Amino acid sequence: MSRPPALTEQQKIRLKILKAQLFDSCRKKDRDGAISILNDLRGLLLNTNHHTKYYEMLLVYCELLINTDNSDQAIKILNKVSTKTSSKTRINQESFILKSIAHLHLHEYEDFNKCIKIVFDSTAIKDTKRREEFIKFIGKRLEEECLIISLKSEQYHKIDTDKILSELETVFRKNLSDVDILAGIGKSLPPKTIDFISNINNLARMQLVGAEKLMLPPPPQENEERKLGERLLNSISRRTWLTLCEKNSKCKYIIDTLGNPGTAISTIAYNIFSTAPILGAQTIACLTAVILKQGIDKYCKSYKPQLLMQVRYSKSTQ
């Protein structure tokens, strides 16, 4: 199949605007607005035979749907993408990765197994080195998703801002390093969370064959507190980054311009809490402390989540 002609400069500008609008709608959880923008993207990209670009935008949207607890809606769209694309392509493989994650969030483990098997059986990545890096990336991503899923399965509680502030004062008074803070976060995780990560890792490993089973790293153990803390921060960041960091974000404007530590702390803490309401005040305080110690700009640069499609263009998936 021949490549479609390049988009004109005007079309490129239009695409850039629509992509920004799509992210904005997703950040606001405005599903109707996002669907309207996707319709515009479809008109722009499908009419110019840029089907792959359109499917990529659908996958971006689906990833954001999963991150905002709309996995069932994501699966419906992903089913369409996977049926319209060749099983030999990365876009098809990526659609099944997201489907496996969505099914995991819905606790549909049989469907998770089917999808992750298709991911690993895909021949879209043939180079052995890149395939190993890809498998490691999948393992890390599954660990991050398992943390959120496990923590969300608990009973919700109300945010206690006063307690978070008190815990945060304790963290800063002890002058802990980021490594120590992350280790403390990992240590606070319940044993059942570690078990859940291990179980899903085993399910994924069962879908690999031969030497590739060894390519999937073992899950973090209970004594690897720093790694667990880092995984949780990555997972939280995947869900809060747009709200805290995107240039048009109201939260970032508040943090950047008011110069009020209390307001900044409350803004960050609330966004962490809304992502995983089961987290205790101490854990939320520790996560907030890591962000504050780095500064919002450095944090936003360091923890900007990598969308699934970006992996194919990276020299390394790690």
* Model confidence at 261: pLDDT above 80: no
* Model confidence at 264: pLDDT above 80: no
pLDDT at 292: 84
Torsion, CA 270, CA 274, CA 275, CA 280, rounded to 10: 70
Confidence of residue 313 (pLDDT cuts 50, 70, 90): low
pLDDT at 156: 53
- Work out the average pLDDT over 118-137: 93
Nearest CA-CA partner of 232 in 194, 192, 202 = 194
* Model confidence at 24: pLDDT above 50: yes
Q: What percent of the chain has pLDDT over 90?
A: 49
CATH 3.40.50 fits 9-107, yes or no: no
- Work out the average pLDDT over 89-103: 96
**Rounded Cα distance, 3 and 1, in Å:** 7
Residue found by looking up tokens 């194919």 in the block: 312
Average pLDDT, the chain: 87
**Rounded Cα distance, 285 and 165, in Å:** 7
pLDDT at 157: 61
- Work out the average pLDDT over 279-296: 85
Helices (H) and strands (E) in the chain, counts: 15, 0
Residue spans of the domains in the chain: they are 9-107, 150-302
Enter the pTM of the model: 0.86
Which of 93-97, 164-168, 258-262 is modeled with the greatest confidence?
93-97
